[in-house]
Amino acid sequence: MAKKGKGALASALARHQSEQQQRKTKLQKLNNKEIHYPGNKKKPKSKTVAADASKKDEEAASETPLDEKKVLVPFDKKDRILIVGDGDFSYTLSIVKKKLIKAKNVIATSFDTLDELHSKYPDTVDATLQELRELGVTKVYHGIDGTRLAETLGVNIRSKRQGDGSGKSIEVLGGLTVNSIIFNFPHIGKHISDVERNIIKNQELLSRFFGSCREFFSILRRQRELRTRSGYKALEQDDQDKDKDSDEDEDEDGDGDAHGAYFSALGKKQQPRDSDVITVTVFSGEPYDSWKIKKLARDSIGYSVQRSGRLEWRYYDGYSHRRTAGAGSTNKRASTRDARIYKFEKWDAAAHARTKKRRRGDASDTDSDGA
């Protein structure tokens, strides 16, 4: 019996040592960003080799001509966009400087407070925020949680002045005209060594974000309905553009819903073509593919992909992805990392047909709503 006991103990110890070694190996791969997921056939590279490869990829990309007509921009000048979690605000600055969107039509937010931004981006944040102000971006808010948009923005259906005590009413926020929410590179911001748990936590983040967007849009839609019934004239009625932008389409039809009724007061040139759109950008490859973002959107709020396409980093001058934890760039240069833009909308057969007709001939690729 004693011998049998010793054998069982030795066997258990051997299994424990083997499991410890496996955990150690997995953790090391995570730290080196060389995780091998199913279907990933890439072999581990040393840091020197990986850095050289990254530099070569970036040089090759910069030498390839960029056809700007084929670049997917998930909004147009008529949209009123809310940007969630913009980190150092380089994305907002990029799209406004490039005149892809009018400064007055942007609400830029960060998850971090202003003090936290100064801690993470001490060399750039003040200059960026100052430049945004000079360009006319007046609605910049900090400490906004993408999973609790209505709450942290102080938007409440019960009272237009009721909120989180910061004094941001729907009017000041400009929220009555928001028709598009953009979240680039969502991430929980924590290092979780267990791969499956890491994936699940990020899926939970995205699911809560989608639900928060639905709540936010619902509140704004209700406000539009109430104000339309009472003969409310749009906030921007006296600020309609007198300029005739040659790149603005004039052939969109109203949707016939609360969105269309509310925005009809703005005039045809001011009406956004889409309503209640959610755009998310994520890196391609693992573990991001395992997040199954399209399935999350469908299962969480009944949204499907309207359009999707590759993020062309070079098109967004000055925009760079940063780690959630701070100013350090990710382990690989952003310009060499493939990323994909997903533009979601609530599934509607008629709207889908209109979108398909409108996008016919557009060179950016589309995506079916598969998992």
pTM of the model: 0.71
Q: How far is CA 299 from CA 128, 163, 295, in A?
A: 38, 30, 6
Q: Which CATH number fits domain 78-236+254-359: 3.40.50.10440, 3.40.50.300, 3.40.50.150, 1.10.275.10?
A: 3.40.50.150
The whole-angstrom separation of Cα 210 and Cα 106 is 20
Length of the chain: 371
Beta carbons of 71 and 98 less than 8 angstroms apart: no
The whole-angstrom separation of Cα 192 and Cα 198 is 5
pLDDT at residue 7 in the model: 65
Helix (H, G, I), strand (E, B) or coil at 33: coil
Beta carbons of 187 and 198 less than 8 angstroms apart: no
pLDDT at residue 24 in the model: 62
Q: Name the token pair of 93.
A: 């600055």
136: left (phi > 0), else alpha (psi -120 to 50), else beta? left
The whole-angstrom separation of Cα 97 and Cα 316 is 9
Burial track 294-325 (b if 16+ CB lie within 10 A, e otherwise): bebbbebbebbbbbbbebbbebbeebbbbebe
The whole-angstrom separation of Cα 338 and Cα 160 is 42
Q: What residue spans define the domains of the chain? A: 78-236+254-359
Partners of 83 in the β-ladder: 108, 182
At a CB cut-off of 8 Å and minimum separation 6, what does 291 contact? 199, 202, 203, 206, 282
Per-residue pLDDT of the chain (371 residues; tens, 9 = 90+): 445 555 666 676 676 667 766 766 665 655 554 444 444 444 445 545 444 544 555 555 556 788 888 899 999 988 999 999 999 999 999 999 999 999 999 999 999 999 999 999 999 999 999 999 999 999 999 999 999 999 999 887 664 444 433 445 666 676 667 999 999 999 998 888 889 999 999 999 999 999 999 999 998 888 777 776 665 444 444 444 444 444 444 333 334 454 455 555 555 556 667 789 999 999 999 999 999 999 999 999 999 999 999 999 999 999 987 665 544 444 455 567 899 999 999 977 665 666 666 655 554 555 555 55
